[in-house]
Chains A and B, each alone.
Chain A
Amino acid sequence: MTPALEVTGLAVRYRRTWVLRDCSLSVPTGRVAALVGPNGAGKTTLMHATVGLLRPARGRVRVAGEVAFVAQDKPLYDDFSVAETLTFGRRMNRRWDGAAAADRLAELGIPLKRKVGGLSGGQRAQVAVTLALARRPDLLVLDEPLANLDPLARHDVMRSIMAEVAGGELTVLLSSHVVSDLEETCDWLVVLNEGRPQVSGDIEELLDGHLVLTGPGEASAATAQVVSASRTGRQVGMLVRGAPPLDPRWRARRPGLEELVMAYLRSPESAALPRPVEASA
């Protein structure tokens, strides 16, 4: 099956700095992919390249079908009413499901006559997401959709998106630097660090394939590939990839998503990427 999003050898440069280098990854159809990484890792740049807001210096991005985008800070025309915002969407797009959009907003209790500038942060996010979903996209790209929202609004926005994913073939790529927001909703993980993907894969498989080990410093972890390790006194804690080690002094458990992400971000030289597929070209 063709992936919903396929990025091959992408490189983007701002003046003399490379923001993305040799960036390759793919997201299968129907997934909700979390794009995480520290500030300045290139998340926004990767998303902008995906939606055509910038031309890469090298490499390419392939999206299967229509892509809709909600940029950071949910840009909307503040002097438009909500109804006019929907008209904007209808006039600017080939595919447009206006009835579904109106239903969604009615359900959320957002009045159509209200000026967009007068909406609360949560309502604004919902209007932006509604506008994107009404385009019936195959891929929905959301740049920090939950930033600046209170916990209730975060929950509501995520629930709206999840309801759409459950309904069909929609693939979602959303970025965040708060991993805990993504734990319950995402099933695919991409960790971006210093312009390169460090981890890319199914979240369950990733968690199954890693272990958090704690034990005495002199114990050997020979069979496992150490992602990152930290020492507190005589105890060593580490996150490893692969089979559990034979040394019985290790205590092993399954990592949480946040632990996994943190371990990789702490050691940029480690990577967990699918084996490179032969270029299909």
Chain B
Amino acid sequence: MIWVTWRRHRAQIVVTAGLLALLGALLLGSAVEAGRYVAEHAAPGCPGPGVTCGDLAVALERRYDAVYSVFGWMPLVAPALIGAFWGAPLLGREYERGTHRLAWTQSVSVRRWLLVELSVLGGAVVAGGLLLSLMVSLWRPVFRAGVDSTFGNIGVFNMVGVAPAVWWLYAFALGTAAGALFRRTLPAMALVVAGVTVTMFTMFQLSDHYAEPARAELSGTVVLDDPDARLVGGAWVEPSGREVAEPSGSGCPRQVDAGRSEKNARTWEECLFGKGYRYAVYYHPPSRFWRFQWTEAGILTLASVVLGGLAARRVLRRPG
């Protein structure tokens, strides 16, 4: 039975493995080149947070961005592709070519057929996602020593840890369920792309609520000194301690900035701080990385199980 699964899906498996290998080669090449550059150009103590390391940091940043632009779309596109080419055809193509009547009338029961297909392909998809995560996690520190952004940047967050694996699994399950629903590959593919996109933006919104945000009161600035934190919101705190969205009656003149200048806003903020106002920031600190990873993993895994169950139920109710 596993041979049958492999034979039916070997095109997807080979192409996915090939693309991962290609990406791996690209990352490896870029990391090796960057390592050589660092060895040749780095001043003592660099890379690091020191002032003398600025030029090196900029050069590395440029290299990082060049490669990142190639696969920065991956958190969204990779799951969409997995759903469209692994999930949607799993049942959709079987139905539209009538081969379900061949596959499901052999001695192997439909239940077992489903179990093997879903677990083997689901397992492969999870393995692929973890491999991507591993490669990205090994590659990024070469450029980003000391400046991490795996938590604050939601795109990067979804490329490391267990996120790629659960996103791929979710897309695969969604595609399988769509294939069972439509009994056609193409509409199932369309639904997967739309579904993954909607889910991703929903999860972006939802992720603010994975934990109670931390609160910090700032004075003299409205910017939190942690580039990797995820900001949830902010508010002014009156000298009395009352939190308000917009300070009123503070006596500070407020003028609208022209163009992209922030001069007037700054002046107004400084005036407020001068009068004893403080600025409260609500945020998630980067230490919550794994908590957020596992929360997202839990939600998506549960959704995958439900979708897989729906697909199986639909198939078992009326296999023909």
Q: Within residues 273 to 309 of chain B, which ones have a CB less than 8 A from any CB in chain A?
A: none
Residue of chain A at shortest CB distance from B2: A91
Closest Cβ–Cβ distance, residue A20 to chain B (whole Å):
13
Q: Is A92 a contact of B106 with CB atoms below 8 Å?
A: yes
Q: Is B101 a contact of A75 with CB atoms below 8 Å?
A: yes
Q: Is A78 a contact of B107 with CB atoms below 8 Å?
A: no
- A94–B319 Cα distance when bound, in Å, is 21
Option from B8, B106, B319 in Cβ contact (under 8 Å) with A89: B106
Residues of B within 8 Å of A94, CB to CB, are: 107
Q: Is A71 a contact of B101 with CB atoms below 8 Å?
A: yes
Q: Is B98 a contact of A73 with CB atoms below 8 Å?
A: yes
Q: Is A80 a contact of B106 with CB atoms below 8 Å?
A: no
Complex A-B: 7 CB contacts under 8 Å: A48-B320, A66-B107, A71-B102, A75-B98, A80-B7, A84-B7, A89-B106
Q: Is A54 a contact of B4 with CB atoms below 8 Å?
A: no
Q: Is A76 a contact of B102 with CB atoms below 8 Å?
A: yes
Of residues A66, A71, A80, which shows the largest number of chain B Cβ atoms within 10 Å of its Cβ? Answer: A71
Whether A249 is near chain B, meaning CB under 8 Å from some CB there, is no
- A102–B114 Cα distance when bound, in Å, is 29
- A87–B108 Cα distance when bound, in Å, is 14
Q: Within residues 129 to 162 of chain A, which ones have a CB less than 8 A from any CB in chain B?
A: 135
Closest Cβ–Cβ distance, residue A257 to chain B (whole Å):
29
Interface majority SS (helix, strand, loop, mixed), chain A: loop
Whether A68 is near chain B, meaning CB under 8 Å from some CB there, is yes
Q: Within residues 94 to 130 of chain B, which ones have a CB less than 8 A from any CB in chain A?
A: 97-108
Option from B1, B98, B317 in Cβ contact (under 8 Å) with A71: B98
Chain A 43-54 interface mask (CB, 8 Å, partner B; 1/0): 000001001111
Residues of B within 8 Å of A69, CB to CB, are: 101, 105
Whether A232 is near chain B, meaning CB under 8 Å from some CB there, is no
Residues of B within 8 Å of A55, CB to CB, are: 317-318
Chain B 49-74 interface mask (CB, 8 Å, partner A; 1/0): 00000000000000000000000000
Q: Is A88 a contact of B7 with CB atoms below 8 Å?
A: yes
Whether A93 is near chain B, meaning CB under 8 Å from some CB there, is yes
Interface size on A, as a range, is: 20 to 34
Whether A77 is near chain B, meaning CB under 8 Å from some CB there, is yes
Q: Within residues 26 to 80 of chain A, which ones have a CB less than 8 A from any CB in chain B?
A: 48, 51-55, 66-69, 71-73, 75-78, 80
Of residues A69, A76, A92, which shows the largest number of chain B Cβ atoms within 10 Å of its Cβ? Answer: A92
Q: Write the residues of chain B forming the contact surface with A, with a CB cutoff of 8 angstroms.
A: 1, 3-4, 7-8, 97-108, 317-320
In the complex where A54-B320, A55-B317, A75-B98 touch, is A68 in contact with B4 (Cβ < 8 A)?
A: no
Closest Cβ–Cβ distance, residue A106 to chain B (whole Å):
22
Of residues A53, A54, A80, which shows the largest number of chain B Cβ atoms within 10 Å of its Cβ? Answer: A53
- A84–B4 Cα distance when bound, in Å, is 9
Option from B7, B101, B108, B318 in Cβ contact (under 8 Å) with A93: B108
Closest Cβ–Cβ distance, residue B62 to chain A (whole Å):
46
- A77–B100 Cα distance when bound, in Å, is 10
Option from A53, A78, A84, A95 in Cβ contact (under 8 Å) with B105: A53
In the complex where A75-B102, A76-B99 touch, is A93 in contact with B317 (Cβ < 8 A)?
A: no
In the complex where A69-B101, A75-B99 touch, is A91 in contact with B107 (Cβ < 8 A)?
A: no
Option from A52, A78, A91, A95 in Cβ contact (under 8 Å) with B97: A78
Q: Is B101 a contact of A54 with CB atoms below 8 Å?
A: no
Q: Is A88 a contact of B4 with CB atoms below 8 Å?
A: yes
Residue of chain A at shortest CB distance from B99: A75
Residue of chain B at shortest CB distance from A48: B320
Q: Is A52 a contact of B105 with CB atoms below 8 Å?
A: yes
Option from B1, B317, B318 in Cβ contact (under 8 Å) with A92: B1
Residues of A within 8 Å of B320, CB to CB, are: 48, 53-54
- A67–B106 Cα distance when bound, in Å, is 9
Q: Is A91 a contact of B4 with CB atoms below 8 Å?
A: yes
Of residues A69, A77, A78, which shows the largest number of chain B Cβ atoms within 10 Å of its Cβ? Answer: A77
Residues of A within 8 Å of B318, CB to CB, are: 54-55
Q: Is A93 a contact of B99 with CB atoms below 8 Å?
A: no
Residue of chain B at shortest CB distance from A67: B105
Q: Assuming A76-B102, A80-B7, what are 9 further A-B pairs, CB within 8 angstroms?
A: A52-B105, A71-B101, A71-B105, A72-B98, A75-B102, A78-B97, A93-B108, A95-B107, A135-B107
Residues of A within 8 Å of B317, CB to CB, are: 55
Residues of B within 8 Å of A72, CB to CB, are: 98
Q: Is A91 a contact of B1 with CB atoms below 8 Å?
A: yes
Residues of A within 8 Å of B108, CB to CB, are: 92-93
Closest Cβ–Cβ distance, residue B104 to chain A (whole Å):
7
Closest Cβ–Cβ distance, residue A28 to chain B (whole Å):
23
Of residues A68, A84, A88, which shows the largest number of chain B Cβ atoms within 10 Å of its Cβ? Answer: A88
Q: Which 8 residue pairs spanning A and B have beta carbons closest together? A: A53-B320, A92-B106, A71-B101, A75-B98, A69-B105, A48-B320, A93-B107, A75-B102
Residue of chain B at shortest CB distance from A68: B105
- A259–B161 Cα distance when bound, in Å, is 74
- A91–B3 Cα distance when bound, in Å, is 7
Residues of A within 8 Å of B4, CB to CB, are: 88, 91-92
Q: Is B107 a contact of A77 with CB atoms below 8 Å?
A: no
Closest Cβ–Cβ distance, residue B184 to chain A (whole Å):
16
Q: Within residues 159 to 217 of chain A, which ones have a CB less than 8 A from any CB in chain B?
A: none
- A72–B102 Cα distance when bound, in Å, is 10
Chain A 92-132 interface mask (CB, 8 Å, partner B; 1/0): 11110000000000000000000000000000000000000
Of residues B8, B318, B320, which shows the largest number of chain A Cβ atoms within 10 Å of its Cβ? Answer: B320
Q: Is B1 a contact of A53 with CB atoms below 8 Å?
A: no
